[in-house]
Amino acid sequence: MKKRDIYLTALLLVLIGVSLGTIFALYAINPDLAPLSDVNVTEVKRSDSPLYEDEDLAEFDSRFMFKKIAEQITPTVVYIETIVPVDMPNDGNHNFGDGIWDRLMPQRARTVGSGVIITKDGYILTNNHVIEGAVDNGLKVVLNNKREYQARLVGVDPSTDLAVIKINEEELPAVTIGNSDTVEVGEWVLAIGNPFRLRSTVTAGIVSALSRDVRIINDRMRIESFIQTDAAINKGNSGGALVNTSGQLIGINTAIASQSGNYQGYGFAVPSNLALKVATDLIEFGEVRRALLGVQIQSVEYDRAVELGMSDVMGVEIMYVTPDGAAESAGIESGDVILTVNGFPVNESNELQEKVAVLRPGDNVTLSLWRDGEIIERTVLLKLMEPRPVVAELEETEPPVELPEGDNTGIESHEFDLGFRVLAIIRADGETYDLMVSHVYKYSEAWNRGLREKQQILEVDKEKVEDIEGLKDLIAKNLSNNGSVILKIQNQSEATGFIELQRK
């Protein structure tokens, strides 16, 4: 072979090699051209153990306790469904249907809310407006574990918008109730309830303010001293739990401040101390036994504080002292300024109302007073609040008890052991007497038999009653002889009927 051919052959082989190498490189660089090949995957680390334990995180910030608190409290909060009648006019604005059942069956609606289990045997604390107006067998409770129960009403207190219902079950998870007097502005809280029918919802926030009076309870004897919070509270949260970072109940969620009806930044809860007192009374007596201080009050403003020679604007001034009331018996005078109740400062009328409302008739309360430039102390034995035809105590404005039309020369009253109170209204002629039922204790013998307020008692076992002494004698005689008594009563529509009451 010639030398020139050898060189050409070598050059050709080099060119072929370069071409093959270029093609191989192109395949290697372009993933769409390169063939698939086996590769080794690097190890991915996984772990179920947190880097920091919850207990360690809780030492840095109390918010890290929220998960544990939610797990603990959520089983104690229940979903309440209430069936209520719907009163709608039968006009062109409402469609009742044309069928016979549409015309005969009453219109009903379902409302929802929340409640908190406070005892293992099934007592549940909620709001009055959650269960108000429920029809017979119209209360259903659903636990966090989805078990359902029919509930019965134990008692209500419109003054605080609280109520207690009961389900038949044992060994239920019950909440631990804390001391709302120790709650401070700025501390973290959780609100747990069922907003918009969303079961077991937990929201977090802080205590924004204390002792708020927002005038949302529609009752003339209302007591409002709410805990304000920015934890989200919406429709359906009513009756749910407000708890602190120790997992203790410090309030019952009651209302929201909103123009739309939905959460807009603030919610309000009844303090747990007041809620517990109300619940205990309802369970024990069927109604609240409210203590009476026997005063009319007004918050002290700046100008009044200057007039009284006070260095700070504080306290609640006594405007009127009820004759023979608890305050008068303890030497308290009109013009005194109450500074503390059992050591707790009170600077608004509703704060004083709350501090007295958590106590019971017969309890002693120590008041610190400002009088004539000095601070003095008085101990007051509280009395039972009863309806009376004077301005009600602990209310800045309160209308007198409504009496029948006509000239009234006097009023007597008596409370009967069967569970009702009677006002004897003596007419001007001195011969006509109206014996009006002024109060019936819920779930007493009289209540269970159908006796109600504003009914008039006409006869006792077919004997006409002339006055309250005669009523007392006739009832006592018939109970002693027969073990029962039959009252002829007349309602406001002048319809008459008979009610039999039996001796306990």
The residue assigned the tokens 């002629």 is 429
54 is catalytic: no
Q: Helix axis angle, 272-285 relative to 349-357, nearest 10°?
A: 40
Q: Is 53:117 a contact under the CB 8 Å cutoff? A: no
Which one from 114, 129, 200, 272 is the annotated catalytic residue?
A: 129
Q: Is 194:253 a contact under the CB 8 Å cutoff? A: no
The residue assigned the tokens 């840095």 is 60
Q: Give the contacts of 156 (CB within 8 A, at least 6 positions apart).
A: 128, 131, 132, 162, 163, 164, 282
161 is catalytic: yes
Alpha helical stretches, state H, 334-397: 349-357
3-state secondary structure (DSSP) of residue 380: strand
Say which amino acid occupies 21. Answer: G
Buried b (16+ CB within 10 A) or exposed e, 327-337: bbebebeeebb
Which one from 238, 272, 299, 368 is the annotated catalytic residue?
A: 238
Q: Quick one: tokens of 476?
A: 């006592």
**Which residues face 77 on adjacent strands?**
116
Q: Quick one: tokens of 178?
A: 């804390």
Q: Is 320:312 a contact under the CB 8 Å cutoff? A: no
Which one from 114, 157, 159, 161 is the annotated catalytic residue?
A: 161
Question: Nearest 5 degrees, angle CA 101-CA 105-CA 111?
Answer: 130
Alpha helical stretches, state H, 79-226: 100-104, 128-131
Q: Is 280:157 a contact under the CB 8 Å cutoff? A: no
Neighbour-count burial of 435, counting CB atoms closer than 10 A to its CB (0-12 exposed, 13-18 middle, 19+ buried): buried
The residue among 455, 433, 452 whose CA lies nearest residue 441 is: 452
Q: What is the rounded distance in angstroms from the CA atom of residue 411 to the CA atom of residue 425?
A: 5
The residue among 439, 390, 430, 389 whose CA lies nearest residue 409 is: 430
Q: Is 198:254 a contact under the CB 8 Å cutoff? A: no
238 is catalytic: yes
Beta strands 344-345; 364-371: pairing state: unpaired
The residue among 127, 424, 337, 67 whose CA lies nearest residue 252 is: 127
The residue among 232, 226, 235 whose CA lies nearest residue 185 is: 226
Q: What is the rounded distance in angstroms from the CA atom of residue 501 to the CA atom of residue 477?
A: 13
Residues catalogued as catalytic: 129, 161, 238
